[in-house]
């Protein structure tokens, strides 16, 4: 199949305006008769459901948690980007676009990324109108902070709980539409298949997680907003339930999966403390604004952090990347931490950690605060106290969380951090309209591949989720549904629904019938180890080939030896997990296959065979300037399709943060 | 450390439920309370028994999904802490820990420690929003908001909707949850146009769902993992009174 990204004509800056001016519209009377299924109520799904319902469509929204407000988006901490240029520091739509392309190491699609930057300002307006309590300055206007990979302050935030506040805004808009009867909400439901009729997505099979019953739902279109697949690494910063299942089922029904190997490892997470560990906790990137990262200059130094004098500390990011210092992009910061730890300079009991130190920020803020309070002869104690106050204001909840988990006080001793799986740039292939290659099947938010190339900028996922949901899909879905106004709802006793439900049922029966020896977590942990060691921050040919074999073997063992207690017809968390891990076991192979195929380093994808002399990632534009879009064949075989990337505006350069 | 756990087991909504006692060994201080449950469940699965169902997702104290009633307190002994952020270093070797679901009529038990909190969504439906359609917004900085006001609204908005306040309240009132939203939106200029109908409708829905009324006992504030303050209840009450005198906004 030919991949057509459907990029509109015209200069980059005019494309979206042109598109909106020419796309087909659906009149209000017809909208009432059109039904849309939305899977997921995170930022992407909740904003899409609310906006589509407002337009008049009939929406059915699904999530597996007990309430739409609990989607994984709630956990985002640091902030959301927008090219408002409120700080007058040189920001613009173009600069946000360019920073995103560059951070993505030129493996994103220009037109999509430009549109994202273009609508970013509207998102902030919309959120404020919905009552999102962003941080403000004393003058009453919105505050900003900076994030990695850029040199302007364009990140809006609500202390360390930006995701929660944005999601509650979208959730409230969603609930308003539920009250108006325009959205029907299905919580504790898991989508387990897409139903395709005559080449078009026409519905889903979902499992009611409380009763275990399978349900059939029709829709004129199906929108997936089901989040990322970072949990393929088992340990990640994602919520426990985050999974690939919805995307994977769509993939198995023909939707291409793009750039699965582009997975982001976040540099600042609380390190692993033991085998019992079930997840890793992020310490927001915003901390790198004020925290300085260092390790001892001396190998294997076992002194406490506070006993290591200033001149014996290696602020390696500031040393290696003087222009960006601690604010280099995530992939660069993660690899640099791994490099130091692998070389024997790591700290903490496991030696797999580096310090993130706030001592100098406390002094800096303390002095500024003293100055502002007209205390001219402030003593050290006062300065420290005022400085700590300022830090609490900015990052209080993160410091608290760190202390709860580690029992160490980060106001007094530096945090220990290490990289962890965090976000996935890869996902379902979509065109400019966010439609997959399956007609009427859309993918929004983290579950699609579109705007971030090979590495996402901090604070841009929230932006993308809300851009897709509030401002893109309301237009683009109309362009498709305008052609569907004569399609009557298809009764769910159609053979395609029978067939899909039968397949889902058979898979559930098969899982329940295994009654093997090991728990689902046992397999998930084993998969995570393979993926992290051979397909994580650093990859090479041999390791990837081994990973593919090992994942296959593990998958086989899973289908023989997994033990799922209980029955199908009840709330059964183990069965839910088993279905998700079964899908991860298929995805894991594709991820490694994609990484093996891409014999270049770009962004977060680091192939040891493709590096510059000083160890930086080396792209190969001649051979790999494309999106890899994988089609699934029988028996977990995959065929590669390439969407060439053409750049009209940006010039491909080797990224340089020095 | 080694612990004895007394856990509430209930097959489904119809079942009467009972306590079951379990021994858990090799509990490490750095484990979270839920990780300790993971260890127990892993053991139960290996022994061919039914693991204990409990809600959780983010394990970062922000999604509001985890909900265990530990030793007679929602989310356990630590102030301002969700179950998932409670670590085993706060317990000691040999201790017996009792774990139950939220006990409140409007939160029926689904299984073991899992309850149905759909009532909170329905209360939000009744008015926990600002009626603004996508695309209707003015420039964000066109509405300056005093920092103090913004901070106050933010403090109210940190509610994670876990329901600990209800579980703690002898009257099973949901007033802390409801008031936090009323207060947040009444505080902000954007929320003012609908403040009266919001207060009346949300409180009405709270009654419909079967939550009790607030008699200012204050257990909710103590139990709230986000330390939402009871002053919001006073503010919501005053919103409500003003609204009932003046009638709903048109
Ligand atoms: C700890 C952490 C901090 C972060 N901080 C930031 C930040 O500061 N700034 C930033 O920009 N980004 C941040 N991110 C990234 C960002 O939060 C996510 O990329 C984004 O929220 C994803 O939103 P989403 O709407 O695409 O999906 P999600 O929020 O993951 O929502 C997925 C939804 O799909 C539903 N679902 C999934 N599968 C199924 C199924 N099979 N059936 C039914 N429903 C299903 C779920 O129930 C859920 O409602 C952070 C991520 C993490 C992990
Ligand atoms: S699991 Fe999310 S708050 Fe505890």
Confidence (pLDDT) at A318 = 96
Which is it for strands A183-186 and A58-62: parallel, antiparallel or unpaired? parallel
Residues of chain A in contact with residue B76, where contact means CB-CB under 8 angstroms, are: none
Among A84, A127, A130, A399, the residue to mutate for chain B (most B Cβ within 10 A): A130
- DSSP letters of A416-442? EEEEEEEEES-EEE--TTSB-SSBTEE
Q: Nearest Cα to A237, choosing from A424, A466, A463, A400?
A: A424
Confidence (pLDDT) at A615 = 83
- Residue A51: Cβ within 10 Å count: 28
Nearest-Cα distance to chain B for A565, in Å, is: 6
Residues of chain B in contact with residue A139, where contact means CB-CB under 8 angstroms, are: 144
Q: Name which CATH class applies to B3-111.
A: alpha beta
Ligand approaching nearest to the C-alpha of A65: 1
pLDDT single digits (tens) A16-38: 999 999 999 999 999 999 999 99
Nearest-Cα distance to chain B for A24, in Å, is: 19
The answer to whether A520 touches A578, Cβ cutoff 8 Å, is yes
CB contact under 8 A, A573 and B51: yes
- Minimum mean pLDDT among A329-338, A517-526, B181-190: which range? A329-338
The answer to whether A175 touches B129, Cβ cutoff 8 Å, is yes
Burial of B49 (0-12, 13-18, 19+ CB in 10 A): middle
Mean pLDDT within A243-264:
98
Residue reference for tokens 């420039």: B139
- Minimum mean pLDDT among A327-331, A552-556, A569-573: which range? A327-331
Structure tokens at B122: 């329905």
Ligand approaching nearest to the C-alpha of A155: 1
pLDDT single digits (tens) A172-218: 999 999 999 999 999 999 999 999 999 999 999 999 999 999 999 99
Residue reference for tokens 């087909």: A24
Report the run of H or E that residue A481 belongs to, with start and end: helix A473-481
The answer to whether A288 touches A148, Cβ cutoff 8 Å, is yes
Half-sphere exposure of B65 (CA within 13 A, CB side): 26
Q: Which atom of ligand 1 is nearest to the CA of A189?
A: 43
Structure tokens at A623: 């051979």
Ligand approaching nearest to the C-alpha of B75: 2
Burial of B85 (0-12, 13-18, 19+ CB in 10 A): buried
Confidence (pLDDT) at B250 = 54
The answer to whether B195 touches B155, Cβ cutoff 8 Å, is no
CA B116 to chain centre: 12
Mean pLDDT within A487-506:
98
C-alpha of residue B126 to centroid of ligand 1, in Å:
26
C-alpha of residue A71 to centroid of ligand 1, in Å:
6
User: CA-to-CA distance for B235 and B180, rounded, in angstroms?
Assistant: 9
User: CA-to-CA distance for A627 and A633, rounded, in angstroms?
Assistant: 19
The answer to whether A57 touches A135, Cβ cutoff 8 Å, is no
Collapsing DSSP to helix, strand or coil, A314 comes out as strand
Q: Nearest Cα to A1, choosing from A655, A476, A642?
A: A642
Q: Nearest Cα to B168, choosing from B237, B33, B61, B69?
A: B69
Look over chain A and give the mean of its residue pLDDT values, rounded to a whole number. Answer: 96
3-class secondary structure per residue, B126-193: CCCCCCCCCCCCCCHHHCCCCHHHHHHHHHHHCCCCCCHHHHHCCCCECHHHHHHHHHHHHHCHHHHH
C-alpha of residue A354 to centroid of ligand 2, in Å:
27
pTM over 0.95: yes
Confidence (pLDDT) at A397 = 85
Confidence (pLDDT) at A399 = 95
| Nearest CB to A125 within list B49, B138, B160 | B138
Left (φ > 0), alpha (ψ -120 to 50) or beta: where does B71 sit? left
| Nearest CB to A51 within list B134, B153, B188 | B134
CA A165 to chain centre: 17
Residue B245 or A656, more confident: B245
Domains located in chain A, CATH noted: 268-420 (3.90.700.10), 495-620 (1.20.58.100)
* A644-658 as b/e: b if 16+ CB within 10 A: ebeeeebeeeebebe
CB contact under 8 A, B63 and A74: yes
Ligand approaching nearest to the C-alpha of B160: 2
Confidence (pLDDT) at B173 = 98
Tally helices (H) and strands (E) across chain B: 8, 7
CB contact under 8 A, B129 and A521: no
- Residue A215: Cβ within 10 Å count: 17
CB contact under 8 A, A172 and B126: no
Among A160, A164, A478, the residue to mutate for chain B (most B Cβ within 10 A): A164
- Minimum mean pLDDT among A271-280, A353-362, A583-592: which range? A271-280
Q: Which atom of ligand 1 is nearest to the CA of A446?
A: 26
Helix axis angle for B175-187 and B231-246, nearest 10°, is 70
The protein residue whose alpha carbon is closest to atom 3 in ligand 2 is B61
Q: Where are the domains of chain B?
A: 3-111, 118-246
A658 confidence band (pLDDT: 50, 70, 90): confident
C-alpha of residue A45 to centroid of ligand 1, in Å:
10
Confidence (pLDDT) at B196 = 95
Order of strands, edge to edge, in the sheet holding A626-633? Answer: A448-449, A427-429, A257-258, A626-633, A637-644
Collapsing DSSP to helix, strand or coil, B83 comes out as helix
Confidence (pLDDT) at A594 = 98
Beta bridge partners of A35: A58
CA A211 to chain centre: 31
The Cα diameter of chain A in Å comes to 82
Per cent of chain A over pLDDT 90 is 93
A376 confidence band (pLDDT: 50, 70, 90): confident
What does R_g of chain B's alpha carbons equal in angstroms?
Answer: 20
The best mutation among B35, B36, B66, B159 to test binding of ligand 2, ranked by most ligand atoms within 8 Å of the C-beta, falls on B66
CB contact under 8 A, B87 and A126: no
User: CA-to-CA distance for B126 and B197, rounded, in angstroms?
Assistant: 9
User: How many residues does this entry show for chain B?
Assistant: 250
User: CA-to-CA distance for B158 and B141, rounded, in angstroms?
Assistant: 22
Q: Which atom of ligand 1 is nearest to the CA of A445?
A: 26
Left (φ > 0), alpha (ψ -120 to 50) or beta: where does A424 sit? beta
Which DSSP letter does residue A270 get?
Answer: P
The answer to whether B62 touches A161, Cβ cutoff 8 Å, is yes
The answer to whether A571 touches B114, Cβ cutoff 8 Å, is yes
- Residue A191 beta carbon below 6 angstroms from any ligand 1 atom: yes
Structure tokens at A338: 């791994």
User: CA-to-CA distance for B74 and B77, rounded, in angstroms?
Assistant: 8
* Residues of A catalogued as catalytic: 330
Report the run of H or E that residue A55 belongs to, with start and end: helix A43-55
C-alpha of residue A67 to centroid of ligand 2, in Å:
13
Residues of chain A in contact with residue B111, where contact means CB-CB under 8 angstroms, are: 570-571
The verdict on ipTM greater than 0.95 is yes
pLDDT above 70 for A79:
yes
Tens-of-pLDDT digits for all 250 residues of chain B? 999 999 999 999 999 999 999 999 999 999 999 999 999 999 999 999 999 999 999 999 999 999 999 999 999 999 999 999 999 999 999 999 999 999 999 999 999 999 999 999 999 999 999 999 999 999 999 999 999 999 999 999 999 999 999 999 999 999 999 999 999 999 999 999 999 999 999 999 999 999 999 999 999 999 999 999 999 999 999 999 999 998 766 5
pLDDT single digits (tens) A542-564: 999 999 999 999 999 999 999 99
Residues of chain A in contact with residue B125, where contact means CB-CB under 8 angstroms, are: 175-176, 178-179
Task: Specify the CATH number of the domain B118-246.
Answer: 1.10.1060.10
Confidence (pLDDT) at B249 = 66
Among A75, A83, A129, A242, the residue to mutate for chain B (most B Cβ within 10 A): A129
CB contact under 8 A, B132 and A130: yes
The best mutation among A60, A74, A76 to test binding of ligand 1, ranked by most ligand atoms within 8 Å of the C-beta, falls on A76
pLDDT above 60 for A42:
yes
Per cent of chain A over pLDDT 70 is 100
CB contact under 8 A, B135 and A126: yes
Nearest-Cα distance to chain B for A128, in Å, is: 6
């Amino acid at each position: 199949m030919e991949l057509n990204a459907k990029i509109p004509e015209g200069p980059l800056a005019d494309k979206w305006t042109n598109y909106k001016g020419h796309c087909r519209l659906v009149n209000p009377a017809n909208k009432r008769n059109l039904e849309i299924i939305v899977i997921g109520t995170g930022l992407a799904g909740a904003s899409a459901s609310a906006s589509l319902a407002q337009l008049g469509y009939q929406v059915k929204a699904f999530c597996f948690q007990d309430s739409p407000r609990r989607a994984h988006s709630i956990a985002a901490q640091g902030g959301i980007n927008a090219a408002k240029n409120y700080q007058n520091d040189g920001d613009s739509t173009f600069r946000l676009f360019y920073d995103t392309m560059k951070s993505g190491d030129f493996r994103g699609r220009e037109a999509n990324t430009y549109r994202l930057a273009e609508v970013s300002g509207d998102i902030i307006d919309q959120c404020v109108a919905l009552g999102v309590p962003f941080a403000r300055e004393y003058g009453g206007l919105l505050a900003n902070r900076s994030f990695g990979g850029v040199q302007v302050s364009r990140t809006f935030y609500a202390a360390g709980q930006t995701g929660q506040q944005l999601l509650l805004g979208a959730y409230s808009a969603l609930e308003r539409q539920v009250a108006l009867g325009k959205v029907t909400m299905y919580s504790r439901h898991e989508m387990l298949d897409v139903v395709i009729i005559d080449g078009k997505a026409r519905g889903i099979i979902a499992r009611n997680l409380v009763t275990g019953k399978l349900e059939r739902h029709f829709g004129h279109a199906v929108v997936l907003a089901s989040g990322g697949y970072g949990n393929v690494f088992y340990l990640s910063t994602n919520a426990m339930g985050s999974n690939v299942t919805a995307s994977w089922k769509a993939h198995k029904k023909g939707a291409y999966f793009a750039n699965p190997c582009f997975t982001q490892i976040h540099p600042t997470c609380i390190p692993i403390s033991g085998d019992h560990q079930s997840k890793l906790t992020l310490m927001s990137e915003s901390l790198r604004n004020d925290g300085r990262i260092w390790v001892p200059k001396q190998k294997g130094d076992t002194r406490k952090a506070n006993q290591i004098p200033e001149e014996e500390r290696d602020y390696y990011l500031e040393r290696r990347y003087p222009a960006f210092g601690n604010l280099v992009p995530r992939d660069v910061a993660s690899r640099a931490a791994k490099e130091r730890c692998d070389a024997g300079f790591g700290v903490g009991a496991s030696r797999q950690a580096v310090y993130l130190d706030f001592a100098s920020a406390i002094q800096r803020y303390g002095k500024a605060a003293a100055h502002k309070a007209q205390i001219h002869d402030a003593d050290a104690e006062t300065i420290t106290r005022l400085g700590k106050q300022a830090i609490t204001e900015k990052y209080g909840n993160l410091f608290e969380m760190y202390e709860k988990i580690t029992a160490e006080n980060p106001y007094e001793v530096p945090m220990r951090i290490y990289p962890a799986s965090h976000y996935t740039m890869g996902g379902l292939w979509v065109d400019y309209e966010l439609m997959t290659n399956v007609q009427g099947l859309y993918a929004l938010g983290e579950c699609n591949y579109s705007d971030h190339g090979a590495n996402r900028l901090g604070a841009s996922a929230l932006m993308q989720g809300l851009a897709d949901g509030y401002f893109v899909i309301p237009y683009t879905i109309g362009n498709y549904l305008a052609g569907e106004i004569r399609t009557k709802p298809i009764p769910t006793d159609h053979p395609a629904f029978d067939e899909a439900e039968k397949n889902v049922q058979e898979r559930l029966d098969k899982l329940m019938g295994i009654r093997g020896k090991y728990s689902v977590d046992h397999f998930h942990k084993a998969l995570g180890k393979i993926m992290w060691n051979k397909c994580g921050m650093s990859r090479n040919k041999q390791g990837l080939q081994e990973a593919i074999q090992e994942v296959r073997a593990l998958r086989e063992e899973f289908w023989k030896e997994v033990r799922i207690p209980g029955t199908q017809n009840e709330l059964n968390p183990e069965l839910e997990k088993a279905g998700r891990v079964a899908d991860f076991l298929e995805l894991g192979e594709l991820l490694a296959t994609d990484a093996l195929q891409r014999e270049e380093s770009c962004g977060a994808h680091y192939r040891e065979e493709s590096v510059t002399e000083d160890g930086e990632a080396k792209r190969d534009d001649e051979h790999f300037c494309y999106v890899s879009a994988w089609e699934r064949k029988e028996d977990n075989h995959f065929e590669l399709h390439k969407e060439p990337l053409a750049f009209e505006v940006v010039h491909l350069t080797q990224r340089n943060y020095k | 450390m080694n612990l004895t756990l007394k856990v509430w087991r209930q097959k489904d909504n119809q079942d009467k439920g009972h306590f079951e006692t379990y021994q858990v060994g090799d509990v490490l201080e750095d484990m979270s309370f839920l990780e300790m449950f993971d260890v127990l469940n892993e053991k139960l699965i290996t022994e061919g028994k039914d693991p204990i169902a409990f809600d959780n997702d983010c394990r970062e104290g922000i999604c509001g999904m985890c909900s265990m009633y530990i030793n007679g307190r929602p989310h356990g002994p630590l102030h301002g802490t969700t179950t998932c952020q409670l670590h085993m270093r706060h317990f000691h070797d040999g201790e017996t820990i009792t774990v139950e679901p939220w006990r409140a009529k409007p939160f029926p038990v689904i299984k073991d420690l899992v309850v149905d909190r759909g009532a909170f969504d329905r209360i939000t439906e009744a008015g926990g929003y600002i009626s603004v359609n996508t695309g209707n917004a003015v420039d964000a900085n066109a509405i300056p908001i005093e920092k103090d006001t913004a901070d106050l609204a933010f403090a109210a908005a940190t509610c994670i909707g876990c329901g600990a306040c209800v579980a703690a309240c002898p009257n099973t009132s949901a007033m802390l949850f409801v008031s936090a939203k009323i207060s947040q939106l009444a505080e902000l200029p954007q929320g003012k146009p609908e403040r009266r109908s919001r207060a009346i409708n949300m409180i009405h829905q709270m009654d419909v769902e079967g939550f009790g009324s607030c008699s200012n006992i204050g257990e909710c504030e103590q139990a709230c993992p986000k330390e939402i303050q009871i002053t919001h209840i006073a503010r919501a009450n005053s919103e409500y009174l003003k609204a009932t005198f003046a009638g709903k906004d048109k």
